């Protein structure tokens, strides 16, 4: 087949596709996203352990960096969505983003290869790598998600919940592979438990190669399969859009006045200062929170919005606020839960002592196993007119994550300072959280696709991802309040000090002991959150139970109101 044929598929191909369950383009996007998630989650599994063990950061600092990094990864989609909607289109942004992420991962490989000879240089390269990955993710993330909805004719938009659930399986198949392969080659310990701190580089290299595979996959297949039901390319340059790309009666361009843009800028500056100074947040977290609110105002100031469009956008905003609490709890996987798996968990699984960075792999396994059953469940409930409205599904997701932490909290309650948590409880936690994730995350992606006006599609995905960014920022803050785990008590004992007495303020350390504590990265006091002192792991996990439990109840109660505001969309 020549290039002309590839660019102009035959009409009968689309008749065949329209009669099938899902178009072939979904599987192209599925595969592209799968390799991107391999790259991202494979790196995520190793990042905090690399920072602590190779770059010699404190765990609390690594958690803050981790949260800030994830937050910026989900803040830059606002920029990527804007550039795609106005200038480059989805396709070019995906190719640009994929290339940048592959380069960023390769820079992490260089950082992990050089820290032994120059710690300062390796740290600088690490910061550069994270910056490149952040911008790459910003171009990639909102644009591939926004293309899924365009694969379906208007009369089949009801399929989007199941389509995004399948698409989400691709995300987590990649996550599973990344969390399997990267830790196997990058998180290596000897028989006596000594970690090879030089092995992280191989995990980062594998992540870089995976991203290159995903980018080339999209480049080769996009023209043939990523097309509308009538055969027009999806995600091309915005100047080539026609009335076919928009809902009937929908405005094709946004109309922002100079005054509204100015107000948004001023609002951003004021909120950024407020979050930074009044709430004591760091610069990155303040940027995330202020950007989300300012962008939400700017979109609402568009004079071309109809009442229905405005109501639907409000639903996106309200749901986005609640998912912050879900991601704040869920993203402990890469920080506090990894540290607990490393330091206070018996990781023997059917006789195999698995690497701590690999414990989170069960989330990917469970998503791959459960995504299709969940998709079938929504389809069957919809056929019987019993499908819950999307916001209520997301309330179910919040409730499930609260339950998962409630179970784990009671299993760590009696561990003491030296007991080990059985890995089966972390596996159960990931199973329950995966069920919650499938009720919330793909449903949220689908909801934006169904409710967002075409002219704001990528930008509103950017808003949705800013909510994720805010959740990740909060995840970093919450991860940093992890109390001392068993390894810290053992390290203090070697110094000749009872760490519990120090934390309980029963003893005062002399200057030499304080210096020894600093060198061993041991805490001198219990962490605090919202004015409350966190004494142990039970109290730490109950923070997530309370936050997610309250959010779940409120979202469930207001779901009927949100259903009315969705004007016929479920």
Is it the case that residue 414 has pLDDT exceeding 80?
A: yes
Q: Tell me whether the CATH fold assigned to 22-242 matches the one assigned to 319-482+537-569.
A: yes
pLDDT digits (tens, 9 = 90+) for 296-316: 888 888 877 889 989 999 999
CATH T-level topology, domain 319-482+537-569? Growth Hormone; Chain: A; (1.20.1250)
Query: At 106, which helix (H) or strand (E)?
Result: helix 89-114
Is it the case that residue 341 has pLDDT exceeding 50?
A: yes
pLDDT at 158: 63
pLDDT digits (tens, 9 = 90+) for 72-103: 887 787 788 778 877 888 889 999 999 999 99
pLDDT digits (tens, 9 = 90+) for 440-487: 988 887 888 788 887 777 678 777 878 888 888 888 889 989 999 888
Stronger pLDDT, 350 or 416, i.e. the higher one:
350
Contact 548, 478 (CB under 8 A): no
The superfamily (CATH) of domain 22-242 is: MFS general substrate transporter like domains (1.20.1250.20)
**What value does the mean pLDDT take over residues 487-505?**
90
60-87 b/e with 16+ CB inside 10 Å = b? bebbbbbbbbbbbbbbbbbbbbbbbbee
Is it the case that residue 280 has pLDDT exceeding 80?
A: no
Contact 26, 17 (CB under 8 A): no
CA distance 206 to 238: 35
302-340 b/e with 16+ CB inside 10 Å = b? beebeebbebbbbbbbebbebbbbbbbbbbbbbbbbbbb
pLDDT at 5: 31
Residue position matching structure tokens 């009666």: 249
CA distance 326 to 214: 28
- State the Cα torsion 240-246-248-250 to the nearest 10°: -100
Question: Phi and psi of 312, rounded to 5°?
Answer: -65, -40
Mean pLDDT, the chain, integer: 85
Whole-prediction pTM = 0.76
Percentage of the chain lying above the pLDDT 90 cut: 38
Is it the case that residue 42 has pLDDT exceeding 80?
A: yes
DSSP-assigned letters across all residues of 185-235: HHS-B-TTS-B-TTTHHHHHHHHHHHHHHHHHHHHHHHHHHSB-TTSPBSS
Residue ranges of the domains in the chain? Answer: 22-242, 256-303, 319-482+537-569, 484-525
Residue 231: other Cβ atoms inside 10 A:
14
CA distance 550 to 543: 11
CA distance 337 to 359: 9
């Amino acid at each position: 087949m020549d290039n002309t044929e590839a660019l102009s598929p035959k009409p009968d191909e689309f008749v065949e596709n329209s009669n099938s369950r899902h178009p072939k383009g979904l599987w192209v996007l599925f595969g592209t996203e799968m390799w991107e998630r391999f790259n991202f989650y494979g790196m995520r599994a190793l990042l905090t352990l690399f920072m602590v063990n190779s770059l010699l950061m404190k765990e609390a600092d690594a958690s803050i960096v981790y949260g800030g990094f994830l937050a910026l990864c989900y803040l830059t989609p606002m920029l990527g969505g804007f550039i795609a909607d106005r200038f480059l289109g989805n396709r070019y942004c995906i190719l640009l983003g994929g290339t940048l992420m592959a380069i960023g991962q390769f820079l992490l490989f260089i950082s992990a290869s050089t820290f032994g000879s120059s710690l300062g240089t390796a740290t600088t390269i690490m910061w550069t790598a994270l910056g490149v990955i952040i911008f790459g993710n910003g171009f990639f993330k909102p644009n591939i998600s926004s293309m899924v909805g365009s694969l379906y004719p208007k009369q089949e938009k009801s399929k989007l919940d199941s389509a995004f659930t399948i698409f989400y399986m691709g995300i987590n198949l990649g996550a599973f592979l990344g969390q399997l392969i990267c830790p196997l080659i990058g998180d290596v310990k000897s028989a006596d438990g000594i970690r090879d701190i030089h092995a992280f580089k191989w995990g980062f290299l594998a992540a870089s190669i995976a991203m290159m595979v995903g980018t080339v996959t999209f480049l080769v297949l996009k023209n043939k399969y990523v097309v509308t039901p009538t055969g027009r390319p999806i995600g091309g340059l915005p100047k080539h859009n026609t009335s076919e790309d928009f809902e009937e009666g929908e405005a094709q361009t946004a109309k922002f006045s100079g005054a509204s843009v100015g107000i948004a800028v001023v609002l951003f500056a004021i909120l950024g200062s407020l979050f930074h100074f009044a709430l004591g947040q760091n610069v990155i977290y303040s940027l995330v929170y202020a950007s989300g609110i300012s962008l939400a105002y700017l979109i609402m100031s568009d004079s071309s919005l109809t009442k229905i469009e405005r109501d639907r956008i409000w639903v996106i905003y309200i749901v986005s606020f609640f998912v912050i609490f879900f991601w704040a709890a869920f993203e402990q996987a890469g920080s506090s839960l990894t540290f607990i798996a490393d330091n206070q968990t018996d990781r023997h699984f059917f006789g195999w002592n698995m690497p701590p960075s690999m414990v989170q792999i069960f989330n990917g396994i469970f998503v791959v196993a459960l995504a299709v059953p969940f998709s079938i469940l929504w389809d069957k409930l919809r056929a019987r007119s019993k499908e819950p409205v999307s916001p209520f599904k997301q309330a179910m997701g919040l409730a499930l994550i609260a339950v998962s932490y409630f179970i784990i909290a009671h299993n760590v309650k009696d561990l003491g300072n030296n007991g080990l948590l059985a890995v089966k409880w972390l596996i159960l936690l990931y199973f329950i959280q995966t069920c919650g994730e499938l009720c919330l995350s793909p449903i949220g992606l689908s909801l934006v696709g169904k409710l967002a006006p075409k002219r704001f599609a990528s930008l509103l995905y950017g808003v949705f991802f800013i909510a994720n960014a805010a959740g990740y920022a909060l995840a970093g803050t919450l991860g940093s309040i992890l109390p001392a785990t068993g390894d810290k008590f053992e390290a203090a004992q070697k110094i000749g000090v009872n760490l519990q007495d120090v934390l309980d303020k029963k003893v005062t350390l002399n200057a030499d002991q304080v210096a020894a504590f600093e060198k061993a990265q041991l805490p001198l006091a219990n962490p605090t959150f919202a004015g409350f002192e966190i004494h142990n792991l039970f109290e730490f996990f109950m923070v997530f139970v309370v936050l997610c439990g309250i959010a779940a109840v409120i979202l469930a109660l207001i779901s009927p109101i949100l259903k009315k505001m969705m004007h016929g969309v479920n």
